[in-house]
Amino acid sequence: MSARRSRLDRLLARLLTISQDAVPALLAQQRVRVDGQVATARDLIVDGFSVIHVDGRVLQDQPPVYVLLHKPRGVLSATRDALHPVATALIDHPAAASLHIAGRLDRQASGLLLLTNDGRWSRRLSNPASAVAKRYHVVLQQPLNDDYVQAFAAGMYFPYEDLITRPARLEILGEREARVTLQEGRYHQIKRMFGRFRNPVLSIHRTAIGGLSLEPALAPGGWRLLTPAEADLVFLGTG
């Protein structure tokens, strides 16, 4: 299930297996309800999560599902793969087959991963204009210094994409540990940024996305459902 938008008459024709020309009569007789309200306009825009009744019978009542997962290392941010375990296999929920990844993590990275069946929500999350902050705990092979902080804040040129990364925040937590906050997600971005200093990354652990944080009590492989209100926390403090 997705949140793809459609005209009411087209959706009713598909769900009832009738022609679109037969829909106006149903609407004129006030036999159709959308989200609890009588619907009379055939061009009303609905989506996959609109609750639709005809003659009191439920035609569509599929709620959006939002999942917060503590992804372990070695698990792919994917729905299927022939060689590696995938994130959706960890979700024991009736809607698991309809979920997709909202913001990927590298296979060897761990931490907060979001999954949903709500396409509009995940597209908003991935839209650069949303500027959703993502926070990571990173362990390095070599010691850190203030040169890293300045370089991350200035942005780095990636010749393959021919772009300069957005300013990123790096906080030194220990000799070889840092907290990195990004507002984008370029391919292997954190590894490539530290690679400019020839400092290999030993581990990456995502701790937060926007206003959502990974709960300490949620063990690797653990997950829980988010309410729609909690899902909206991901956009707190963003652009």
d(CA 39, CA 27) in angstroms, rounded, equals 6
d(CA 224, CA 239) in angstroms, rounded, equals 27
- The single residue of 9, 21, 61, 106 carrying the catalytic annotation is 106
φ, ψ dihedrals at 135, nearest 5°:
-115, 140
21 as an active site residue: the answer is no
For 100-119, b where at least 16 C-beta lie within 10 A, e where not — what string? bbbbbbbbebbbbbbbbbbb
Output the furthest CA–CA distance in the chain (Å, rounded): 73
SS3 141: coil
Contacts of residue 192, Cβ cutoff 8 Å, sequence gap at least 6: 156, 158, 186
State both tokens at 69: 């997962």
**DSSP run (H or E) holding 124:** helix 119-126
Positions annotated as catalytic residues are 106
